[in-house]
Structure formats: structure tokens, C-alpha cells
């Protein structure tokens, strides 16, 4: 860092001071006297001419008639909020054992190099932040701050350092819970992140760049941010309060000094720090995870057993959906709550327990946060007809690996035909080996998609397996061509790709 200052020779400074002292004193007294006189006269004139006369008999409006007070920034700044919350935000340092190479000579002279390089456990340190949420020593932080740590140390604002125990972590939300053996700790009360609105003021408190406790100020820029590819379950609060490396696990608080989020991630686009786009896990989600980690040692989530896809305009038209809502089921897991309830691929879920379903992300979050064993009510659209279905949720099982892409080693493809009834698309028969390996009862495989064709623009790809045309199974190229020829204008395809099913709408003709 470069510091700048103005340099003036000392003898010149002293000379100017000596010769001008009396002149400055005389000018200061004269100006003060003149200002006082003009101020008195001007103040009287201004008061008479600029202040409208108010009737003496007009009383102040009663309290009930006054405008409602709005949340404003304190006149003295944000120091009262900071003083109340800063002691509960801690710095977290962790130590991890990493594999390295040990010098065969052990650092000693003349030791023969006869064994080759030996493995060595080298400590690696990382830094982050955390938040005390209970006086008896429970803290919230990020999973990625403590992931793989062999030793965790918590440093408080007053300089105390305590060893922390890992209670549990949840990688799917990037939340971890720590515990220190200490009582009467300063703790931040948990707020209600569901009451946040875009534009609300917030403070981000943490340990950026290992500088120590730092407070930044901003607003809630957006709510419900998802599809960022950061975590499995995403419902982020976006803020422009500066968040930098080291802020992870720190506190996002409102002007009432309540915790509303756990700072987690930033979008930097190649920069080394804040660009005004930071994300925090809502405290409502963090609280749910924390309570389960403390009481059960793991997070239990609800499970319906469906694969879902968001609706675009073309899909909504095909399924008869009006308005900006609903998600379509692309697959139903065998022996799952969905299959037992009778849900089918092509059903559109419009409501979950009476609440409109906006998109895939919010439905996944809602199902996951519903306790297993709960019977839920679904409003669906099947064949453009609404119906109500009840389903009893199970517990979410461990993740299953996706099926392999077709074609993996040996070439199971017979000779490809010249084309198909769908312009720009070449399809072939699905070989028995591929059908058995992927456990598919029907389908044809896409051998080629002409660049620039309607099918290519719709997203159809080589090696996709087309299972259905207009929700009717196709088991051969002839059946596929016949189904396409019966379509009017657009073709609704259900395809299998990379172990998952999805729907595509392909126009038969650009016109």
C-alpha cells in the first residue's frame, strides 16, 4: 500500500506562521462580529418572509391520524446494531491433514536416499466465519468452511479462542453446526427470513481476507435465488452488502439486530472479491437444518419420488396449462409415494397442499422440508383435466447414481436409416443390449440431428432415446414415424438422456 503526504520545508512554514499571526487574528475577530450582525438581521427577515403563519388554535394531529412511521436509518448510524451483534460473530480457523511428500533424508545430512519419497501429512489451514446462536455455545457456519477439518478453533471479538466440536454438517444446504464448551455467550437472536422484502437494509458481518471482524452494509437485492449450481437446495438471499473470501459462515442481520441469513457465496467473474452480488442461506432453512443436526445428527427430508421439469411456453401449451405455474412429471420412481398415489409421467403438478407451484426448485424445497410420513394434497392436470391426488411422503433415500449414457463402449447401433418423419432427425432401432442395460421397455435412438433444424433448436441431441411421441410409447422406427405423421403442427417428445427423462416440443414445420 502506498501512502501519500504533502511535504513543506520547515523554515518556510515557521516564517509564514510568524508574519501572519496578527493579521489572521484581526481578520477572525472582524468576520465573527460581521457574521453575528448579519445573522441576526437575516434570521429575523427570513423568519418573517419564509415561514407561513400557522393558526394558533390548531392543535397537533392525534396519534391515530398521523402517518405510520417507516423504518429509517438511525441518525447516529448503525453502531447500535453493530454493538449488539458483533460480539456473536466469530472467526473460524481449521486445520486439515493433506498428503504431501516427506524428504527421505529427514532433513539430516548424509542420510542415504534408499527408500524414495515417503508420504507425509501436512497441515493445511483455512479461515472463515461463524455465528453464535445460543448462549450455551451452538454456532452456525458453512459446511465448506469446516469440511474435512481435523481441528476447529473459534476466536471471539474479545480475543478469546476456544476449540469447537463439529455437531454435524449438511452439504446439500452448505450449513454446519459447531459447539463450544462455554456458557453465557453473546448470541444473535434468529429472525424470520420469510418476512424479508427486496430493498430491506441488511448488514454482513464476518472475517474477510483474515482481516478480523468487518461490517458491511447494503440491501436485499433479490429473494429466492436458485439454479446457481452452488448447492442441492438453493433459496438464497441476494445482497449487495460486500461479501468477500472469509465472510463464509458469517452473519447477515437486519436493522433489528436479528439473524436473517448465513453468508455463503459470491459471484466474482474472475475477480478476487466482492462485486455487489453475494448470497446467504435464509435463516429459516439454516434453523431447520440446525435443529435436526442437533436432535438427530442428520437431516431428514421428505420424498415424493418424481423427476420434474419446468414448463416453458411450448410445453405449457401442449399440456393445457394456463398461467405461469406448474411443473411436469417426467418420470415416477417405482415403489415410491408418487407411484403408490398413481402419479404418472406427463402429469402437471399445479398445487402442493393448496399452494400454487411456481417452478421445480420451489417444489423440491417444499417437499424436502415436509416431514416424512406427512400426507400431502396435490392438484394435478392430466390430459388437460384437473384432479386431486393424495400422497404420503417417505424419507428421502441416499442419492442414486444416474444411468450411463447409451452407447458406452461397444457399438450396439445397427445401420442408421436415411431419416425419419420428423424433419432434420434420424432415428434408429434401440438394440436389445442397450434396452436391457438401461432397463427400457420401448424407445428409438436418435442417430443424428441436422444443425439449424427445428429439432436442434428445440434441444434434441444425438444419442437421445425417444420414449414417447405425444405421450404414446414408441417401440420401433415405424411406430415413431406413424406417431409423428399424426401430429398437428408440433410434436411432444418424452426422451431419455443421461439417466433422466424430459419433455421437448419440436415443430414439424417452421411455418
pLDDT tens per residue, range 201-223: 999 999 888 888 889 999 999 99
Say which range, 105-109, 173-177, 337-341, 393-397, has the weakest mean pLDDT. Answer: 105-109
Grid cell digits, residue 107: 532433513
Q: Is the per-residue pLDDT at 283 higher than 80?
A: yes
Say if residues 141 and 130 touch (Cβ distance below 8 Å): yes
Q: Region 424-448: what's the mean pLDDT?
A: 85
Which one is catalytic: 93, 129, 143, 144?
144
Distance CA 369, CA 376 (A): 12
Q: Cβ distance 212 to 254 under 8 Å?
A: no
Distance CA 85, CA 99 (A): 39
State whether residue 256 is helix, strand or coil. Answer: coil
- pTM of the complete model beyond 0.85: no
Q: What is the pLDDT of residue 450?
A: 86
Hey, what's the cell of 2? 502506498
Beta pairing partners, 126: 94
pLDDT reported for residue 202: 96
> Which of these ranges, 240-244, 411-415, 419-423, has the smallest mean pLDDT?
411-415
pLDDT at 437 > cutoff 90: no
With cut-offs at 50, 70 and 90, classify the pLDDT of residue 431. confident
What average pLDDT does range 442-458 have in this prediction? 88
Give catalytic status of residue 57 as yes or no.
no
State the average pLDDT for the chain.
Answer: 78
Is pLDDT above 80 for 133? Answer: yes
Q: What is the helix (H) or strand (E) element at residue 234, kind and residue range?
A: none
Q: Please, which pLDDT band fits residue 348 given cuts at 50, 70 and 90?
A: very high
The torsion defined by the Cα of 302, 307, 312 and 315, in degrees rounded to 10, comes to: -130
Higher pLDDT, 421 or 38: 421
Q: Given this model, what pLDDT does residue 488 score?
A: 78
Residue 307 CB burial class (10 angstroms; 0-12, 13-18, ≥19): middle
pLDDT at 210: 80
Residue 172's CB is within 10 A of a number of other CB atoms, namely 17
pLDDT tens, residue by residue, 39-87: 443 443 333 333 344 444 444 444 444 444 455 666 678 889 999 999 9
Name the band, by pLDDT with cuts 50, 70 and 90, for residue 230. confident
Per-residue pLDDT at 510: 52
- What is the Cα–Cα distance from 202 to 180, expressed in whole angstroms? 27
Q: Is 174 a catalytic residue?
A: yes
pLDDT band at 340 (very low <50, low <70, confident <90, very high): very high
CA distance 464 to 474: 14
DSSP one-letter string for 99-113: EEEE-TTTT-TT---
Q: So what's the pLDDT on residue 386?
A: 94
Residue pLDDT, tens place only, 1-19 = 333 322 233 332 322 233 3
What spatial distance separates the first Cα and last Cα of the chain, rounded to whole Å? 64
- Tell me whether residue 19 is one of the annotated catalytic residues: no
Q: What is the pLDDT of residues 119-129, one digit of tens each?
A: 555 555 668 99
pLDDT at 378: 96
CA distance 185 to 502: 51
Q: Give the mean pLDDT of 300-329.
A: 91
Residues near 53 by beta carbon (within 8 Å), at least 6 away in sequence? none
Catalytic residue among 93, 129, 170, 174: 174
In this structure, the number of other CB atoms found within 10 A of the CB of residue 303 comes to 19
Task: Specify the pLDDT at position 185.
Answer: 94
Contact 302, 371 (CB under 8 A): yes
pLDDT at 143 over 60: yes
In the set 193, 221, 248, 420, the catalytic residue is 248
CA distance 248 to 265: 7
Amino acid at each position: 500500500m502506498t501512502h501519500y503526504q504533502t511535504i513543506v520545508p520547515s523554515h518556510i512554514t515557521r516564517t509564514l506562521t510568524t508574519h501572519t499571526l496578527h493579521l489572521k487574528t484581526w481578520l477572525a475577530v472582524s468576520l465573527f462580529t460581521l457574521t453575528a450582525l448579519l445573522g441576526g438581521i437575516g434570521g429575523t427577515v427570513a423568519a418573517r418572509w419564509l415561514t407561513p403563519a400557522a393558526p394558533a388554535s390548531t392543535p397537533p394531529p392525534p396519534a391515530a391520524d398521523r402517518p405510520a412511521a417507516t423504518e429509517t436509518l438511525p441518525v447516529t448510524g448503525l453502531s447500535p446494531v453493530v454493538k449488539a451483534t458483533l460480539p456473536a460473530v466469530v472467526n473460524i480457523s481449521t486445520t486439515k491433514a493433506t498428503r504431501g511428500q516427506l524428504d527421505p533424508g529427514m532433513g539430516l545430512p548424509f542420510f542415504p536416499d534408499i527408500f524414495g519419497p515417503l508420504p507425509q501429512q501436512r497441515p493445511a489451514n483455512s479461515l472463515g466465519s461463524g455465528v453464535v446462536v445460543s448462549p450455551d455455545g451452538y454456532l452456525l457456519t458453512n459446511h465448506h468452511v469446516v469440511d474435512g477439518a481435523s481441528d476447529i478453533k473459534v476466536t471471539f471479538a474479545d480475543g478469546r479462542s476456544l476449540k469447537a466440536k463439529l455437531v454435524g454438517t449438511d452439504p446439500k444446504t452448505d450449513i454446519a453446526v459447531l459447539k463450544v464448551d462455554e456458557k453465557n455467550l453473546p448470541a444473535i437472536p434468529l429472525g424470520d427470513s420469510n418476512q424479508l422484502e427486496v430493498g430491506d437494509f441488511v448488514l454482513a458481518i464476518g472475517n474477510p481476507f483474515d482481516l478480523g471482524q468487518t461490517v458491511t452494509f447494503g440491501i436485499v437485492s433479490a429473494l429466492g435465488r436458485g439454479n446457481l449450481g452452488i448447492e442441492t437446495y438453493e433459496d438464497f438471499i441476494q445482497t449487495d452488502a460486500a461479501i468477500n473470501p472469509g465472510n463464509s459462515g458469517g452473519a447477515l442481520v437486519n436493522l433489528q439486530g436479528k439473524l436473517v441469513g448465513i453468508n455463503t457465496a459470491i459471484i466474482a467473474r474472475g475477480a478476487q472479491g466482492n462485486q455487489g452480488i453475494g448470497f446467504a442461506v435464509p435463516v429459516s432453512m439454516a434453523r431447520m437444518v440446525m435443529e435436526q443436526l442437533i436432535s438427530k445428527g442428520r437431516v431428514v427430508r421428505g420424498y415424493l419420488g418424481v423427476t420434474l421439469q419446468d414448463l416453458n411456453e411450448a410445453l405449457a401449451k401442449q399440456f393445457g396449462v394456463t398461467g405461469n405455474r406448474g411443473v411436469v412429471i417426467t418420470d415416477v420412481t417405482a415403489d415410491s409415494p408418487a407411484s403408490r398415489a398413481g402419479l404418472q409421467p406427463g402429469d402437471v403438478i399445479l398445487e402442493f397442499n393448496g399452494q400454487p407451484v411456481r417452478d421445480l426448485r420451489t417444489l423440491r424445497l417444499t417437499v424436502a422440508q415436509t416431514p416424512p410420513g406427512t400426507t400431502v394434497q396435490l392438484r394435478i392436470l392430466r390430459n388437460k383435466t384437473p384432479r386431486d391426488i393424495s400422497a404420503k411422503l417417505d424419507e428421502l433415500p441416499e442419492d442414486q447414481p444416474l444411468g450411463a449414457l447409451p452407447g458406452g463402449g461397444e457399438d450396439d447401433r445397427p445401420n442408421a436409416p436415411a431419416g425419419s418423419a420428423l424433419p432434420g432427425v434420424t432415428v434408429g432401432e434401440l438394440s436389445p443390449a442397450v434396452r436391457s442395460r438401461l432397463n427400457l421397455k420401448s424407445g428409438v435412438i436418435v442417430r443424428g440431428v441436422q444443425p439449424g433444424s427445428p429439432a436442434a433448436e428445440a434441444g434434441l441431441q444425438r444419442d437421445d432415446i425417444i420414449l414417447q411421441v405425444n405421450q404414446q410409447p414408441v417401440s420401433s422406427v415405424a411406430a415413431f414415424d406413424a406417431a409423428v405423421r399424426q401430429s398437428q403442427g408440433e410434436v411432444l417428445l418424452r426422451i431419455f438422456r443421461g439417466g433422466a427423462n424430459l419433455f421437448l416440443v419440436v415443430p414439424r414445420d417452421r411455418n
